[in-house]
């Protein structure tokens, strides 16, 4: 049996956009993030973070820092009874300074590789799932993987919403993750 999921961009979606986040003290969840994630948990959606982290390929952060950052997010969520089920990270960039990450991969959003991998690993059904993010590449990634896709106006989203690319259309453009959760609960069957 496959489950529906909500795939969540990290920066600008779950937490404040801080450019290349490289200090744990810069992690700041939005005021509604814990409640929004818990509502998705309670409704039976898998919650999976899908994040481009070219900062790894650029040598700005390493995987150990990323693990610490995600553990910090998890601790804050857990205090409010909320949970991320899995994190998928693309460390690559075609011009990465570190040669092992300097590739044109299938996982850097807008490519759908991370979502497809999560669906295979965790038994998730893209057709009943939604990708949520603050950039058009998040929307394009979701659609390429066969999910619905919501653009948020948090993070880069207010700027992005004003400059829609010709070839990408969001299923909804909403103010923040809490509005997206309300939309998902209304729109998606579980």
Q: List the catalytic residues.
A: 9, 11
* Positions that interact with Mg ion (CB under 5 A): 9, 11-12, 134, 155
Q: Contacting Zn ion (CB under 5 A), which of 10, 93, 108, 143?
A: 108
Asked if 156 is part of the footprint of Zn ion (rule: CB under 5 A), the reply reads: no
How many residues touch Zn ion under the rule CB under 5 A: the total is 5
The encoded tokens of residue 185 equal 């609960």
Provide CB contacts within 8 A for 126, sequence distance 6+: 115, 116, 119, 145, 146, 147
Which CB atom, from 110 or from 146, has the smaller least distance to Zn ion? 110
Going by C-alpha positions, the residue among 186, 183, 178, 179 that lies closest to residue 33 is 178
Asked if 34 is part of the footprint of Zn ion (rule: CB under 5 A), the reply reads: no
Residue 142 binding result from Zn ion, Mg ion, none, given CB thresholds of 5 to 8 Å by partner type: none
Angle, helix 33-42 to helix 63-79, in steps of 10 degrees: 80
Which CB atom, from 112 or from 155, has the smaller least distance to Mg ion? 155
Asked if 152 is part of the footprint of Zn ion (rule: CB under 5 A), the reply reads: no
Asked if 105 is part of the footprint of Zn ion (rule: CB under 5 A), the reply reads: yes
Q: Which stretch binds Zn ion (CB under 5 A): 11-19, 41-49, 97-105, 155-163?
A: 97-105
Provide CB contacts within 8 A for 26, sequence distance 6+: 18
CB of 105 to Mg ion, least distance (A): 18
Any bridge partners for residue 88, and if so which?
A: 50
Going by C-alpha positions, the residue among 73, 87, 75, 76 that lies closest to residue 9 is 87
Asked if 107 is part of the footprint of Zn ion (rule: CB under 5 A), the reply reads: yes
Asked if 93 is part of the footprint of Zn ion (rule: CB under 5 A), the reply reads: no
Whether the Cβ atoms of residue 66 and residue 89 lie closer than 8 Å to each other: yes
């Amino acid at each position: 049996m496959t489950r529906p999921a909500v795939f969540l961009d990290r920066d600008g979606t779950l937490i404040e956009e801080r450019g290349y986040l490289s200090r744990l003290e810069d992690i700041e969840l939005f005021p509604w993030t814990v409640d929004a994630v818990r509502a998705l948990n309670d409704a039976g959606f898998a919650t999976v973070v899908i994040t481009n982290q070219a900062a790894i390929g650029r040598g700005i952060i390493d995987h150990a820092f990323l693990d610490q950052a995600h553990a910090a997010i998890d601790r804050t969520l857990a205090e409010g009874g909320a949970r991320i089920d899995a994190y998928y990270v693309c460390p690559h960039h075609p011009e990465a300074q570190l040669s092992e990450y300097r590739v044109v991969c299938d996982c850097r959003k807008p490519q759908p590789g991370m979502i497809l991998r999560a669906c295979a690993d965790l038994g998730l059904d893209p057709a009943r799932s939604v990708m949520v993010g603050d950039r058009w590449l998040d929307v394009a990634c979701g659609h390429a993987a066969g999910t619905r896709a919501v653009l948020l106006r948090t993070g880069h989203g207010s700027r992005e919403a004003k400059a829609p690319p010709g070839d990408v259309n969001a299923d909804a453009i909403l103010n923040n993750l809490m509005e997206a959760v309300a939309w998902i609960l209304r729109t998606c069957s579980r």
